[in-house]
Structure 1
Amino acid sequence: MSRVYADQVDVQVEPSFCDEESDADESRFVFKYTINVHNHSEQNMQLLARHWKITQSSGEVHEVRGKGVVGQQPMIAPGQAFSYTSRAIIDGPVGVMEGSFTCVDTASQRPFEVAISAFRLAVPNQVH
């Protein structure tokens, strides 16, 4: 029986700055990010939980843990993908997010972690 392994799941991230929701005077910088999770295995998988580590411009680190993503714990069939968009609010014009998803191979019920590489949240034309 085959299994879903973390290296068979591809996570792509597309961040973007939300100028209309941000306020530099209030140290409020809002970013949208779209996540695409693609299951390259031969088994169904389910995304059960998320863990984010958000490094603020100030250097402060916030960790966020929760069930699923955007109120869902999606099943992702072999060769299929699941996409969603969410937001992060940071205290300055540049920050970094990284994290992981806890998933389960639905055939074996074995959990596995999928790492999400660090990605930059930056107001356009920022040098740092």
Structure 2
Amino acid sequence: MTFQISQGIKINVEIFYQPEQSNPLQQEHLFSYRITIENHNTFTVRLLSRHWYIFDSNGTRQEVEGEGVIGSQPYIESENAFQYVSGVNLVSEMGRMYGEYTMENQTTKELFKVMIPAFELIVPDKMN
């Protein structure tokens, strides 16, 4: 598990290779990731948007931006957490992702960025 704390928000990332949904012969390697967002501030926050940087070891780079996560812009109260699962498909067997969330302090309405730590996407048999 990878984690990072910024602006009082802790981001935990767990990665899972999905062999049953991957097709290596067609250069399709599906990874899912579970993100847990913990609010350690004294105020409620709202996750407004995400910005991902995705790198495939074949040299391909993607950027993905959008509102919220999984169709939601969740509110996360002080000392509470929000969790979701999403996925990414790579052409090669290895890659890397990182990004940031834009959050809103619900008391002051101030916007701030929270870093999503970099994490590796590696097909398990490539780790040997």
TM range (shorter): over 0.9
Is the counterpart of residue 53 in structure 1 residue 53 in structure 2?
A: yes
Q: Which runs of 5+ in 2 are unaligned?
A: none
SS of residue matched to 1:20? helix
SS of residue matched to 2:73? coil
Aligned position for 1:98? 98
SS of residue matched to 1:125? helix
Deviation for aligned residue 1:7: 2.7
Q: Which runs of 5+ in 1 are unaligned?
A: none
Residue identity over aligned pairs, in percent, reads 34
Aligned position for 1:39? 39
CA root-mean-square deviation: 1.4
Deviation per CA, 1:14-56, whole angstroms, max 9, x where unpaired? 0110000101111100000000000000000000000000001
- Aligned equivalents of 2:53, 2:19: Cα separation in 1: 23
Is the counterpart of residue 69 in structure 1 residue 73 in structure 2?
A: no
Deviation per CA, 1:83-124, whole angstroms, max 9, x where unpaired? 000010011111000000000001100000001111001110
Matches within 5 A, 1:4-23: 6-23=6-23
- Aligned equivalents of 2:108, 2:61: Cα separation in 1: 35
- Aligned equivalents of 1:44, 1:127: Cα separation in 2: 40
Please report the TM-score for the alignment, with normalisation by the length of structure 1.
0.93
Deviation for aligned residue 1:6: 3.8
- Aligned equivalents of 2:29, 2:6: Cα separation in 1: 32
Please report the TM-score for the alignment, with normalisation by the length of structure 2.
0.93
The question of whether the paired residues in 2 share the 8 Å contact of 1:6 and 1:112 is answered with no
Aligned position for 1:85? 85
| Number of equivalent positions | 124
Instruction: Point out 4+ residue stretches in structure 1 off by more than 4 angstroms.
Output: none
Deviation per CA, 1:58-86, whole angstroms, max 9, x where unpaired? 11110000000000000000000000000
